[in-house]
Amino acid sequence: MTTPIYLDFQATTPVDPRVLAEMLPWFAERWGNPHATDHRFGRDAAQAIQIARQQVATLIGADPREIIFSSGATESNNFLLQGASAVMAAAGRSRVITCATEHKAVLEVVAQLAIKGHPVTMLDVPASGIIDPVDIARHMGSDVGLVSIMAINNEIGVEQPITAIGALCREHGALFHTDAAQAVGKIPIDVVEANIDLLSLSAHKFYGPQGIGAAYIRRAIKPNFPPRAVGGGQEGGLRSGTLPTALCVGLGSAAQIAQEEMVREREQLTRFRDRFLALLDDARMAYVINGELARRWPGNLNLSFDAVDAEALLMSVGEVLALSSGSACTAQSLEPSHVITAIVDDPDRAENAVRIGFGRSTSAEEIDRAAAILISAVQRLRQLSHSAAEGV
> What positions carry a catalytic annotation?
329
Sequence letter at residue 170: R
Contacts of 7 (CB under 8 A, 6+ apart): 321, 322, 323, 356, 357, 358, 362, 366, 370
Contacts of 92 (CB under 8 A, 6+ apart): none
Pairing of strands 120-123, 95-99: parallel
Cα–Cα distance measured from residue 211 to residue 381, given in angstroms and rounded to the nearest whole number: 38
Contacts of 332 (CB under 8 A, 6+ apart): none
213 backbone φψ class: left, alpha, beta (φ>0; ψ -120 to 50):
beta
Q: 197 by DSSP, 3-state: which?
A: coil
* Under 8 Å between Cβ of 7 and 321: yes
Give 305-355 as a DSSP string. ETT--HHHHHHHHTTTEE-BSS-GGGTT--SPPHHHHHH-S-HHHHHTEEE
Cα–Cα distance measured from residue 133 to residue 161, given in angstroms and rounded to the nearest whole number: 8
Cα–Cα distance measured from residue 65 to residue 167, given in angstroms and rounded to the nearest whole number: 23
Residue 199: strand pairing partners: 178, 216
Sequence letter at residue 212: I
Cα–Cα distance measured from residue 253 to residue 262, given in angstroms and rounded to the nearest whole number: 14
Q: What is the CA radius of gyration of the chain?
A: 22
Beta strands in the chain (DSSP E): 5-6, 67-70, 95-99, 120-123, 144-148, 175-179, 198-202, 213-217, 287-289, 300-305, 321-322, 353-357
Residue burial 234-263, b: 16+ Cβ < 10 Å; e: rest: bbeebbeeebbbbbbbbbbbbbbbbeeebe
Q: 199 by DSSP, 3-state: which?
A: strand
